Amino acid sequence: MKKLLIVGSYLSPYVRKVLVSLELKGIAYEVDPIVPFFGDDRFSRLSPLRRIPMLVDGDLVLTDSSVICQYLEDLQPEPALYPADIRDRARARWLEEYADSRMGDVLIWRLFNQIAIRPSVWGEKGDRELVDRTLKEEVPTVLDYLEAEAPEMGFRFGGLSLGDIAPACFFRNAGFVRFQIDASRWPRTAGWIGRTLATPPFTKLAALEDAILRTPIPQQRETLKGLGAPISSETYGTAVPRRGVMPI
């Protein structure tokens, strides 16, 4: 069976969500580890919003992490990425959406983007005032909501599902810029996310992520190859960054 191709950086929470899902299901894949701002014209045609991840399976191209995960679930139903109970499954999908939208806005664009992406990709200084306001006002509202959803033990719906995976992916990026959940204020959330990030798929990917976290973008592909990561032979990457069509 031909390997699926995932286009996108290991450091993206949306790519991480898909890679964790692939690891859980044991589906063979390879990665073209581009930062989306460095995608070429072919990438623009296939991913019209110039966002990652992008899945290529023969002539099928999908460019949204939730759509990709649902495709993987249909492609290989076991082990399942969603709970069996219809109500739990709906709640897991909501937590996935909450992570991708609200947590993406707060933890990625308002925090990670300002501290990490703007300096490393564009050579710009991040908005410190926005970061401080986000940490003071926006992040606590996210954590308050998750604290009400978090299980006291184990995972949200019994077995590990996308209801656990999606939120944890964003806290992994927050950790890159030295944010940690205050376990005294949000103990259930801290425990839940910690347990999720300690699962084998996350720890396997973490080793690769840590290796390239401070590696210049042009060198990341070769570094990952040297570590034995399943890197594709061809790339949709280019040397000059360009902005996407969506506001950030």
Across the chain, what does the average pLDDT equal?
Answer: 95
The residue written with tokens 């390239």 in the block is 212
Domain coverage including residue 62: 4-80+212-226
Q: Please report which confidence band the pLDDT of residue 248 belongs to, taking 50, 70 and 90 as the band edges.
A: very low
Residues 34 and 62 in one domain: yes
With a cut of 50, say whether residue 84 has pLDDT above it: yes
**pLDDT tens, position by position, 161-183:** 999 999 999 999 999 999 999 99
* pLDDT at 241 (0 to 100): 84
Q: What CATH number did the domain enclosing 148 receive?
A: 1.20.1050.10
Whether residues 136 and 39 share a domain: the answer is: no
- CATH code of the domain containing 55: 3.40.30.10
Q: Are residues 39 and 111 in the same domain?
A: no
Which residues in 46-67 are b (16+ Cβ under 10 Å) and which e?
Answer: bbeebbbbbbbbeeeebbbbbe
Upper half-sphere CA count for residue 218 (Cβ side, 13 Å): 4
Q: Is the same domain home to 193 and 117?
A: yes
Is 231 a member of any domain? no
125 in the same domain as 58: no
Chain segment 194-230, per-residue pLDDT in tens: 999 999 999 999 999 999 998 999 999 999 999 999 9
Residue 28 domain flag: yes
| pLDDT of 126 strictly over 90 | no
pLDDT of residue 122: 83
Could you tell me if 26 and 126 lie in one domain? no
Q: Based on the domain organization, do 62 and 35 belong to the same domain?
A: yes
pLDDT category, 120, cuts 50, 70, 90?
confident
**Strand pairing class (29-32; 60-62):** unpaired
3-state per-residue secondary structure call for 79-132: CCCCCCCHHHHHHHHHHHHHHHHHHHHHHHHHHHHHHHHHHHHHCCCCCHHHHH
- The verdict on 195 and 220 lying in the same domain is no
Query: How many domains is the chain built from?
Result: 2
